């Protein structure tokens, strides 16, 4: 399942070359993650209230073309894997013309209140499970 979110590039997202700063794409990934979970009926806040945190353990972004100030972007998010204590989200960021600007993924490891890795409960994994399993 792919969930789409939109974001308009603000001036503060751009660097001195007039393009979106490379680090801002990770924030787009976070927007995509949050909207993915919300669309599936579970917010990050609810996960945290149940005592689970999902820190990023790995992030990758491949930059294809630059985004510029005032571009309306589409962030496409899907889950590649959700098992045990690990969740992997994949992202595609598209520009106003639908062209791919960036692609990437983030891997998350679930931890409990003690800061130690924990398995996510079945109901959370069900919400995060990729379509078809």
* Active-site amino acid positions: 15
Closest listed residue to residue 22, CA positions, set 79, 56, 77, 62: 62
Closest listed residue to residue 103, CA positions, set 70, 86, 78, 127: 78
Other CB atoms within 10 A of residue 124 CB: 20
State how far the Cα of 82 lies from the Cα of 24, in Å rounded to an integer: 25
Which residues does 118 contact at the CB level (< 8 Å), separation at least 6? 52, 85, 110, 111, 112
Which residues does 2 contact at the CB level (< 8 Å), separation at least 6? 76, 77, 78
């Amino acid at each position: 399942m792919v969930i789409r979110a939109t974001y308009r590039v603000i001036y503060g997202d751009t660097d001195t070359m007039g393009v979106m700063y490379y680090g801002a794409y990770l924030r787009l990934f976070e927007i995509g993650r949050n909207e993915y979970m919300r669309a599936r009926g579970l917010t990050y806040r609810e996960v945290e209230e149940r005592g689970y945190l999902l820190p990023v353990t790995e992030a990758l972004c491949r930059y294809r073309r630059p985004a510029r100030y005032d571009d309306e972007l589409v962030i496409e998010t899907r889950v590649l894997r959700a098992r045990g204590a690990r969740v992997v989200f994949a992202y595609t960021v598209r520009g106003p013309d639908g062209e791919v600007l960036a692609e990437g993924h983030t891997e998350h490891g679930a931890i409990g209140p003690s800061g130690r890795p924990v398995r996510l409960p079945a109901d959370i994994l069900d919400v995060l499970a990729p379509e078809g399993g």
